[in-house]
Amino acid sequence: MHFKLRAATKEDCKEISRMILELAVYEKMSDQVKISHEELERDGFCQNPFFECLVAEVHEEDKAKEGFTMVGYALYFYTYSTWKGRSVYLEDLYVMPEFRGKGIGKGLLGKVAEMGKKEQCVRLQLSVLEWNTPSRDFYAAKGALDLTDNEGWHFIRFDGQNLDNLANEAPKD
Amino acid sequence: MDFSIRAANVEDCKDIARMIVELAEYEKVADHVKVTQRDLEQDGFSKNPFFHGIVAEVPEQHKTKDGHTKIGYALYFYSYSSWSGRAIYMEDLYVMPEFRGKSIGKALMSKVAQLGLAAGCNQLNFTVLDWNKPSLDFYLSQGSFDITADMGYHCMRCEGEALEHLAQP
C-alpha cells in the first residue's frame, strides 16, 4: 500500500485531534484528553511552536472505512540533556489499526529520527506503558533502551492544584 | 541565608557547566557528561534555544571556599502533552551540598512552576532515579506524583548506532 509522510499543516489539526483520541482510547485513558484541535492549531503553528508533527496519508482508493485518508501521525518536540546535548522527544506515534503492519509506524519513527538528526540531536526519547507489549517490542527491536527497567528512572509530575500551590511559593522578584 | 534567583545569562554557562558535573557526580555518572560550556552557550542562548535556565546566587560574604556565589540552578524547556497541552520539563535541579536545607531547591523549583504557569503550561514534568530517596521524598512531599509507579509509564531512549540506523531514509 502506498503512503505519504509529510509535515502537518494547521488544517490537519482536526484529523490529528481525532487520532489523538483514538490513541488515548487504545491506552485506556480517553478521559485524560483535555485539548482539542484549537490548542493544537495555536501551539503547533505559532512563532515558537511547542511541537512539530508529521502525518501519514494514503490514497483515496485506500481510505479507511469511515472515509479518512489521514491514517497516522507522529508528534514530537526538541529537548535538552545537560549530559549529552540536543535531543528529540517523541510524544505520540500512532497508526490506525487497519493500517498497521505496512511500515507506516516505522516510516514515521524514522522520519522523526531524521528530523532530529538534522538538528544535531543525539538522542530520541519517548515513554511507553508497561503493559503495552506490542509497542515495547516495536521500540526494543529498533534498539531503544528501557531506562526505567535498566537505570531506575521514574517520571514525576506536578499538575492541577499541586502545580498552582508550588508556583505560589516562588520567591517574589 | 539570603539568596536570589534570576534568569541565567550566557555568562553563567561556566558555572552551570561546573554544577552540571557536580550533579552528575552525585548521580554517580560524571563520565557521562559530554556537554561543555560552549555547547550550553550555543544551545541555550541562540535564536531558538533548546533550554532556559535560572540560577541561585548568594551574597559575596557567603561564597564557597572556592569563591563561587552561584550555588544552584534549574534548567528547563517547554514540552507538549497531546492530552493536556503546554507543559514545562525540568531537566536539572541542583543546589551545592553546603547550601542545602535552606529552601533554595524549593525556591528554584517553584520558580520553574511559576514560569510554566505564566507560559500557559498545565504540567511540570521531570525524572528522578528510583534509588534517589531524598529527592523522591522531597518531590512527593511537594505534591507531585510518580507517573511511572502509578500509571506504568517507562522512559525509553534511542541513541548512538540505534539512532543512526533509525534515521536512515
* CATH, residue B18: 3.40.630.30
Q: pLDDT of A71-122, one tens digit each?
A: 999 999 999 999 999 999 999 999 999 999 999 999 999 999 999 999 999 9
Provide the terminal-to-terminal Cα distance of chain A, rounded to the nearest Å.
59
B153 is catalytic: no
- The verdict on B157 and B113 lying in the same domain is no
Q: What average pLDDT is seen over chain A?
A: 94
Domain that holds residue B139: 129-168
Total CB pairs under 8 A between chain A and B: 249
- The verdict on B116 and B82 lying in the same domain is yes
- The verdict on B56 and B110 lying in the same domain is yes
* A93 contacts in chain B (CB < 8 Å): none
* A86 contacts in chain B (CB < 8 Å): 43, 50
Residue B163, C-beta contacts closer than 8 angstroms, at least 6 positions apart? A113, A116, A117, A122, A123, A124, A143
* A165 contacts in chain B (CB < 8 Å): 143
Q: What average pLDDT is seen over chain B?
A: 94
Q: Is pLDDT of A172 > 90? A: no
Residue B28 has what pLDDT? 83
b/e per residue B82-101 (b: at least 16 CB within 10 A) = bbbbbbbbbbbbbbbeebee
- The verdict on B63 and B137 lying in the same domain is no
CA gap B111, A28 in Å, rounded: 34
Average pLDDT over residues A19-38: 94
- The verdict on B87 and B150 lying in the same domain is no
* Minimal C-alpha gap between A102 and chain B (Å): 16
Domain A3-127 sits in CATH 3.40.630.30: yes
CA gap B148, A104 in Å, rounded: 28
Average pLDDT over residues B49-71: 96
- The verdict on B18 and B98 lying in the same domain is yes
Provide the percentage of residues in chain A whose pLDDT is more than 90.
Answer: 85
The number of folded domains in chain B is 2
Q: Does B42 touch chain A (CB under 8 A)?
A: no
| ipTM reported for the complex, 2 dp | 0.93
b/e per residue A108-147 (b: at least 16 CB within 10 A) = bbbbbbebbbeeebbbbbbbbbeebeebbebbeebbbbbb
Q: Which of B:131-150 have CB within 8 Å of A? A: 131, 136, 139, 142-149
Residue B33 has what pLDDT? 93
Residue A169 has what pLDDT? 85
Write down the residue that cell numbers 469511515 correspond to. A66
Sign of CA dihedral A88, B126, B76, B66: negative
- The verdict on B72 and B148 lying in the same domain is no
Q: Is pLDDT of B1 > 90? A: no
Residue B30 has what pLDDT? 83
- The verdict on B52 and B115 lying in the same domain is yes
Q: Is pLDDT of B169 > 80? A: no
Q: Is pLDDT of B91 > 80? A: yes
Whether the Cβ atoms of residue A87 and residue A115 lie closer than 8 Å to each other: no
Chain A interface, best mutation among B158, B161, B165, B168, by max A CB count within 10 A? B158
Provide the percentage of residues in chain B whose pLDDT is more than 70.
Answer: 99
- The verdict on B90 and B106 lying in the same domain is yes
Average pLDDT over residues A1-5: 93
- The verdict on B46 and B114 lying in the same domain is yes
Q: Is pLDDT of A51 > 70? A: yes
Residue A173 has what pLDDT? 67
CB spacing of A145 vs B75 below 8 angstroms: no
Average pLDDT over residues B72-80: 97
pTM: 0.93
Q: Is pLDDT of B121 > 90? A: yes
